[in-house]
Structure 1
Amino acid sequence: MPTRGNLSGPQRAWLARGLEQPGGKLPLFDRDGQKISTRTVKSCIRKGLAEPWFDNPIKPDWLVCRLTDKGRTALTA
């Protein structure tokens, strides 16, 4: 199971933002307005730390995700 020490800086920063949002919604953009790296998003999904939430019909290439219980645990471990 991933722990806080196993997360990269970008993964940790992105997942932590889900702690602040209703339903654990993860942002599409960082605090500077840059799109979150697809590599970061997909690696978190593969590890079970985030999950796709719903399809975005306007931008189908954008993955709208939410934090999983496993992701919450990894951030607080």
Structure 2
Amino acid sequence: MAVANQPSVVQKAWLARGLDQPGGKLPLFDEHGQRYSERTIRACVDKGWAEPWFDNALKPDWLVCRLTERGRGLFG
């Protein structure tokens, strides 16, 4: 169970995927091709660990995000 100031296992796994991506880009899909839950993404944005990066013209309902410095801080 996540502590209030710490991400859940799923949130941390999603955030970790931005560590070695250009600009800290976070993926829309997991390793199995499944879309990450909007609830997971929005919770990370609300906590300041991720931020919306740009609008996706082809899929305007998809939230494209990148890792913030606060999010990077979760990994030491």
> What is the TM-score with the length of structure 2 in the denominator?
0.91
Larger RCO (CA within 8 A; separation ≥ 6)? 1
Instruction: Among all aligned residue pairs of Structure 1 and Structure 2, give the percentage whose two residues are the same amino acid.
Output: 63
Show the counterpart of 2:39.
Answer: 39
Match of 2:39, as an amino acid? R
Give the match for residue 64 of structure 1: 64
Listed as ranges, the gaps of 5+ residues in structure 1 are none
- The whole-number CA distance in structure 1 between the counterparts of 2:20 and 2:8 is 19
Q: Deviations 1:8-50 (Å, cap 9, x if unpaired)?
A: 0110000000002010000000000000100000000000000
The 2-side partners of 1:27 and 1:16 are apart by 10
2:14 is matched with 14
- One-letter code aligned to 1:38: E
Q: Give structure 1 regions of 4+ aligned residues with deviation exceeding 4 angstroms.
A: none
Deviation at 1:7, TM superposition (A): 1.2
Partner amino acid, structure 1, of 2:33: G
Distance 2:20 2:31 in 1: 13
**Structure 1 CA distance, aligned partners of 2:29 and 2:73?**
23
Deviation at 1:74, TM superposition (A): 1.5
Larger helix share, 1 or 2: 1
- Equivalent pairs, count: 73
CA-atom RMSD in angstroms: 1.2
What TM-score does the superposition give when structure 1 sets the normalisation length?
0.90
